[in-house]
Homo-oligomer: A and B are copies of this chain.
Amino acid sequence: MNPLVRFFKVKLYTALFLLVLMLVIGVLGFRVISDYSWIDALYMTVITITTVGYGEVQPLDANAKLFTIFLILSSVVVLGYAITVITEYILSKNNFEEQKQR
- Enumerate chain A interface residues (CB-CB to B < 8 A): 37, 39-40, 42-43, 46-48, 50-56, 62, 65-66, 68-69, 72-73, 76, 80, 84, 86-88, 90-92, 94-95, 97-98, 101
- Decide if A84 touches B86 in the complex (CB within 8 Å): yes
Indicate how many identical chains form the complex.
4
Q: What is the bound-complex CA distance between A54 and B43, given in angstroms? A: 13
Name which residue of chain B comes closest to A23, CB basis.
B73
- Decide if A39 touches B62 in the complex (CB within 8 Å): yes
Q: What is the bound-complex CA distance between A42 and B84, given in angstroms? A: 27
- Decide if B84 touches A88 in the complex (CB within 8 Å): no
What's the least CB distance linking A102 to chain B, in Å?
8
